[in-house]
Amino acid sequence: MPDTPVAAVLLAAGGSSRFGQPKQLLEWDGRPLIAHLADVAWAAGLSPILVVLGAGAERIAPALAGRSVQLLQNYRWEHGMGSSVSLAVSALMGSPAAIFLQVDQPFITAGLLRALVTTWRNASPHRGIVVPAWEGRPGSPVLFERTFFPELAQLPADVGGRALFGAHAEQLLFYPVEDPLLLADADTPAEFARLQAARRDPLALLRPIRAVISDMDGVLWRGMSPLPGLQDFFAFLEERALKYMLVTNNANQSVTQYVEKLARLGVVTAPEHVLNSAEAAGDYLLQQAAPGTRVYVVGGPGLREALARRGFVLTAGEAADFVVVGWNPTFTWEDMAQATLLIRGGARFIGTNPDRSFPLERGLVPGAGAQLALLEAATDVRPLVMGKPEPVLYEQSMARMGVSPAETLVIGDRLDTDILGGLRLGLPTAMVLSGIHSLEDVRRSFVHPDLIFDDLAALTAAWRALDEP
């Protein structure tokens, strides 16, 4: 089953006396600073997100409208940060850990927050405090395991969570960051102006890129039609000797079928450049069960082939240890009924991807995520999902190419899968508007790609222009 999410606590109760206005409402990326950080926490998958307000709460709260956050009012905010920490801890119910963020750190990323969570989950027992550090200097935000909540709740009002570091030095785990800007804060208007000036041209993100992870449907093609710039994009990759992986949540077709489709569209590539959620599901099952294990598949030939090739027995539904669901255009009521009975009987529920819709020339049609949602409603069981925005496809792609997140660009057309997954792992992201989501969707979303282009042709042109005098 999926891990219980780590909580976020956004400490935003201060009076901002040196700013002459609420620091929480300073603009960053077109949003109030407090909204920006709440969006980052949401993109990182943290839940619940608690926001502690104090001074000027009535002015600040509307900036968070529409966001899945829980507002806490600290009426003792003038006594110090410890009063906000104590209030937040009292509201944390069932969270295994919490990351405490301050509202004046605009360069915090979803990738950093996810890295803190991953570091904690992978740590040995008794290492329950994770602190980001640059060149040995600790910073914020800080993750505290639940075992420390009682001590945090008892902190003096004028003392922050760092007071626990000395008493629990043996339980500290430092996560090194490569860029000090990630941990920079702004205590004065001059410091905030300095952080604004330090913001880089977004296109500069493309300069260190050595590899690309690109979605296919809605980026390279729509239905059977190539999208603008397809062949030129692959020519550009070859010119620059850029590594690439073509990654899709669609498990209906095999890797070979994707290679053949690209060939029909004028692009020659090899199977090792293609990875789909069917392959990811097969590898996951091999980690969980031996070949010969019974699997009931609701999905297309690509998913069935990937599982059969790994030695799993595909049943007709009479009994199964796993139910694996991928996109299936011939999905029937009987498929739904049989899968429901097996899951209710104890079979583990695996989904290839959460895409609720799928682009064809005639418009958007139901995707695998719609089928998963139907089965989840029928069984009250949440599936374990392999595809984007979960990290498996990205991590496998980077491992194949031998590259790091900072030098790998994610290209996609969906905010909720392609872009969100890249942001969570700290990869630069480029969204193209040729598929699922529009510019208006971006404006309404809490997921904010680093770069936005009309299509692949526009992205390639902008990338080429970086080297022009």
Catalytic residue set: 215, 217
Give me the long-range contacts of 439-446 (CB less than 8 A, separation at least 24): 441/415, 442/415, 445/415, 446/38, 446/39, 446/42, 446/43, 446/67
Residue 50 near residue 89, CB atoms below 8 Å: no
Which amino acid is present at 74?
A: N
Half-sphere exposure of 211 (CA within 13 A, CB side): 22
230: tokens are 């397809």
For residues 271 and 258, give the distance between their C-alpha atoms in angstroms, rounded to a whole number: 8
Q: Residue 380 region, left (φ>0) first, then alpha (ψ -120 to 50), else beta?
A: left
Residue 114 near residue 424, CB atoms below 8 Å: yes
Residue 449 near residue 433, CB atoms below 8 Å: no
CA 312 to chain centre: 30
135: tokens are 């060149």
With 0-12 / 13-18 / 19 or more C-beta atoms within 10 angstroms meaning exposed / middle / buried, residue 459 is buried
Which residues have a Cβ under 8 Å from the Cβ of 307 and sit 6 or more positions away? 278, 281, 282, 285, 295, 297, 314, 324
Tokens 């692959």 label which residue? 234
For residues 315 and 422, give the distance between their C-alpha atoms in angstroms, rounded to a whole number: 35
Which residues have a Cβ under 8 Å from the Cβ of 464 and sit 6 or more positions away? 236
Query: In which order are the strands placed within the sheet that holds 451-453?
Result: 274-276, 243-248, 211-214, 408-412, 429-432, 451-453
Q: Residue 163 region, left (φ>0) first, then alpha (ψ -120 to 50), else beta?
A: alpha
Residue 221 near residue 265, CB atoms below 8 Å: yes
For residues 32 and 197, give the distance between their C-alpha atoms in angstroms, rounded to a whole number: 17
How many beta carbons lie within 10 A of that of residue 191, not counting itself?
Answer: 14
Q: Which of 121, 141, 122, 123 is nearest to 131 (CA)?
A: 141
